[in-house]
Amino acid sequence: MQIVLHTCCAPCLAATLPAFAEMGEVRPFFYNPNIHPLLEFRKRLKALDVFADREALGVEADREYGLRRFLALVPPDGAGRCAVCYRERLGRTARRAAEAGADAFSTTMVASTHQDHDAIRRAGEEAAAEAQVRFLYKDLRVRAADGHAIAKKMALYRQQYCGCVFSECERYKDTDTEIYRAARDR
């Protein structure tokens, strides 16, 4: 079986690859217009490229920074953004799987302990019906720590938030991290 695997980041690919490889040939596909800012997008893509090179994986990647596309899809207050984001990314992955003649598609987000798995499953099933290709859902949250350990061992970038501008704000809003210190503080 050939599986197009939506890939959000290197750690999640490291976590999920063994489970999906047991099912067939895995074709990682990076499509993440939600990731902000541009440098975060580039860090995640570079980490994926490094992982793929080390593991001798072919990865297809949409390297276009998609912030404008993502923001056009979600309301200004970010309400319901995760469901919209899942639909966008899994819809594109399903279409890619159908175009490639793959048997199925899935996503590395199934390894995340921070994602809404019910919403991922719904978005995947909707995308499958539209593209006429099978969606494979596997709850791989138990492998999340494995992915982080592999990324750490390989010195790959590990992000601190989901990716979108709204999740970045939620992640850092309560921190006391300083970005500038006055001369008197030195």
Q: pLDDT category, 29, cuts 50, 70, 90?
A: very high
Number of domains in the chain: 1
Q: Look at residue 126 in the predicted model and tell me its pLDDT.
A: 98
Structural domain span for residue 7: 2-185
CA distance 128 to 99: 13
Q: Across the strands, what pairs with 5?
A: 28, 106
Mean pLDDT across 144-172? 87
* Sheet of 104-107, strand order: 60-61, 25-30, 2-6, 104-107, 134-135
Residue 184 has pLDDT above 70, yes or no: no
Please provide the distance, in angstroms rounded to a whole number, between the alpha carbons at the two ends of the chain: 60
Confidence band of 92 (pLDDT split at 50, 70, 90): very high
**Is the predicted pLDDT of residue 169 greater than 90, yes or no?**
no
Write the pLDDT tens digit of every residue in 115-148: 999 999 999 999 999 999 999 999 999 999 999 9
pLDDT tens, position by position, 61-86: 999 999 999 999 999 888 999 999 99
Q: How confident is the model at residue 185 (pLDDT cuts 50, 70, 90)?
A: low
Q: How confident is the model at residue 175 (pLDDT cuts 50, 70, 90)?
A: confident
- Residue 79's CATH number: 3.40.50.620
User: What are the CB-based long-range contacts (under 8 Å, 24+) for 78-85?
Assistant: 78/164, 78/166, 81/164, 81/166, 82/115, 82/116, 82/119, 83/116, 83/119, 83/122, 83/123, 85/34, 85/164
- How far apart are alpha carbons 141 and 139 in whole angstroms? 6
pTM, to two decimals: 0.91
